[in-house]
Structure 1
Amino acid sequence: MTPFDDDKPLLIAEGLTKYYGRQLGCRDASFELYEGEVMAVVGESGSGKSTLLQMLSTQIEPTSGRILYRMRDGGMKNLWEMSEPERRFLLRTDWGYVHQDPQHGLRMGVSAGGNVGERLMAIGQRNYAGIRATAADWLGRVEIPENRIDDTPRTYSGGMRQRLQIARNLVTAPRLIFMDEPTGGLDVSVQARLLDLLRRIVSEMRIAAIIVTHDLAVARLLSNRIMVMKGGEVIEAGLTDQVLDDPHQPYTQLLVSSILPV
């Protein structure tokens, strides 16, 4: 039972499995995600967490299993029975994807305002003044000075690039956002500021999120639920505080104790 069990699931993963030739990437991952719920996927390098995120965000096709997503009209659709243009449209509008390296999620030669405005144009907005005003508002929300709106991300610090990537993803009010190590590569003080920003915005907008991280402090701060992966399989799952405060599996106990390299 979750705090969101009075709603229908937003996303359902059933038996997701991925093999790269004979090599296992992920096996039999199943869960339900509800609107407004944040789930962290944790594990050491090679545990399968990135493979799972790539399947869920339709970057790679599962070997077996299926992913169901509740569209805005309330109907559930199998993502891999949709056309490629339909999946791309979801990624541009109803979903967001925050990359560990902001250079993969931004157009580095386009202004900050242009990066945010492109997402608005993807949902049909064409009024330049309105797009620019919305972009400026979102830059303010992610603590980027408005006078930097015409600067390109190349002139931004790493933390500012990551905040710009967040603004670009959230400007269309998506219902689901995927985050791949969103604080990776940032120094501790910048991480803390970014995490506080993410927690506030995701909560205010009631966005569902799936976060892949090796940092259990990130998982504890941002997520309601957690899945622990090892060797391509989910070995423990539950409410974040319960799993981290009272882990049942020996691997999870080691992970929480920071004995394993992650």
Structure 2
Amino acid sequence: MSDEPLLRVTGLSKYYGSRLGCADVSFELYPGEVLAIVGESGSGKTTLLNCLSTNLEPSSGLAEYRMRDGVWRNLYELSEAERRFLMRTDWGFVHQNPADGLRMTVSAGANVGERLMAVGDRHYGRIRDTAIDWLGRVEIAEDRIDDQPRAFSGGMRQRLQIARNLVTNPRLVFMDEPTGGLDVSVQARLLDLLRSLVSELGLAAIVVTHDLAVARLLSHRMMVMKDGHVIEAGLTDRVLDDPREPYTQLLVSSILQV
């Protein structure tokens, strides 16, 4: 991992009127590092993810990103055009519901190819070859390249969404419950695929999940959230094997009893 972080977050808070979304969150994320944000429904983890990915503007605090030219930029001071470019090129966002991250009415190949066109590739043959290569990497057969995602199973749609996000070699990927709603056997294959791709590509990733098994398999570090606050943070194995906070202990023990 690089000596210099990719993302610096300082005192990030989000309120919806008088209701707290998340409060005073600070951390650094390094290239190649996967951070899991865990907690029950309503803990604030999705609000935090949406603030970090600039889908929401925080009430206070700072999130700074190190651009490819090495210059640090405050994410909330980017223009709309700069933000959109970042989302199409340097970042990826894997939604829990793949329909939110795919264009359901164009082919699988076009879903992948669109991202390549966003970074300036205009050569049809090269785009198609790259799409075929990426479909293979996410275990989608070449003969499905012209099929629309609506003809795919949930697991295939999620794998296609992953290919669409990773084809431009982003440096940072946000994942919102990436295995939610999938059968257990499909989840296991998807997690293996994600883990191998993240490792192979050296991606930094922020994964929001309520599933501690997902956090253990994918992440290097984790933050546990409760009522909008980070109550425990550290190396994933340390937090799960030796939780210090009573709430984290309860989360871990409830998983073990299932």
Normalising by structure 2, what TM-score?
Answer: 0.98
Counterpart in the other structure of 1:240: 236
Counterpart in the other structure of 1:207: 203
Shift of 1:141: 0.3
Q: How does 1:63-78 map to 2 (within 5 A)?
A: 63-78=59-74
Q: Deviations over 1:56-91 (max 9, x none)?
A: 000000000010000001111101111111011000
> Alignment partner of 1:258: what SS?
helix
Counterpart in the other structure of 1:120: 116
Shift of 1:20: 0.1
Q: How does 1:46-85 map to 2 (within 5 A)?
A: 46-85=42-81
RMSD: 1.0
Instruction: Tell me the distance in 2 between the aligned counterparts of 1:134 and 1:179.
Output: 23
The match for 1:217 among 213, 216, 220 is: 213
1:151 aligns to 2:147 (yes or no):
yes
The answer for unaligned runs of 5 or more in structure 2 is: none
Instruction: Tell me the distance in 2 between the aligned counterparts of 1:118 and 1:172.
Output: 10
Instruction: Tell me the distance in 1 between the aligned counterparts of 2:254 and 2:74.
Output: 38
> Alignment partner of 1:257: what SS?
helix
Q: How many residues align?
A: 256
Q: Deviations over 1:212-240 (max 9, x none)?
A: 00000000000000000000000000000
Counterpart in the other structure of 2:15: 19
Shift of 1:174: 0.1
Counterpart in the other structure of 2:4: 8
The match for 2:86 among 83, 90, 96 is: 90
1:99 aligns to 2:95 (yes or no):
yes
1:170 aligns to 2:166 (yes or no):
yes
Instruction: Tell me the distance in 2 between the aligned counterparts of 1:214 and 1:145.
Output: 31
The answer for unaligned runs of 5 or more in structure 1 is: none
* Percent of matched pairs sharing the same residue: 75
Instruction: Tell me the distance in 1 between the aligned counterparts of 2:211 and 2:244.
Output: 19
Normalising by structure 1, what TM-score?
Answer: 0.97
Q: Which runs of 4+ in 1 moved over 3 A?
A: none
